[in-house]
Amino acid sequence: MAKNVLSLNLPDLLNTCIMRIEDTSLYNPLVPVSCSVLQITPPGFNLPIQITNRAPGFIANISACDLGIQQSNCDNWNNALVDGLYIVNWSISPNTVVFVEYNHLRIANIMNIYMKVLCQLDISNCLPTIEVQEKIKELQLIKTLIDAAKAKVEIAQNPQAGMAIYNYARQRLNKLAKFYNLSC
């Protein structure tokens, strides 16, 4: 390996206040690393937030305070980050040449609602009622839609199509959540 090969892992978390970013790059010990910049563009923002001087192999738990979305009480609590398209760029010097960029569909909030609805299902019996079986089928469809939305955004690089699928899944999930009087 003659150069540094950059890559990141952006795992899905159920923690709605944190976005984890893990540096999974392969660094050549003979090639110096300098001027590291992590850039994150949250949903609804046009310009990225820059986080500098991350060391190779970093693991970052990014909060609303880190992104400048939350301006006060950062020492006491973190506001929830919204679901949606986050553009994440990791670069080292020369930053315009050595970089990697990802479209990341954050799904923490929708997955928390999904889990809450699952908890409401009465499936203690080995054979659920027909009504519960219908809700299970609906939840399976919703989960597949969420997976399809992530695939469209992160694999097919089609954020608009992915967000349309995400919004449709969220709409269907909200109907089930309201049935169980869960807040969306």
Q: Could you report the per-residue pLDDT of 80-117, keeping only the tens digit for each? A: 999 999 999 999 999 988 999 999 999 999 999 999 99
pLDDT for 53: 83
pLDDT of the residue at 126: 75
pLDDT at position 184 is 58
pLDDT at 179: 84
Give the DSSP letter string of the chain: --S-B--EE----S-TT-EEEEE--B--TTS---S-EEEEE-TT-SSPEEEE-PPTT-EEEE-TTTTTS--S-TTT--PPPPPEEEEEEEEESSTTTEEEEEEEEE-HHHHHHHHHHHHHS---SSS--HHHHHHHHHHHHHHHHHHHHHIIIIIS--HHHHHHHHHHHHHHHHHHHHHTT---
What pTM was estimated for this model as a whole? 0.93
Q: Domain map of the chain by residue range?
A: 8-106, 108-179
pLDDT tens digit string along 121-167?
A: 988 777 888 999 999 999 999 999 999 999 999 999 999 999 999 99
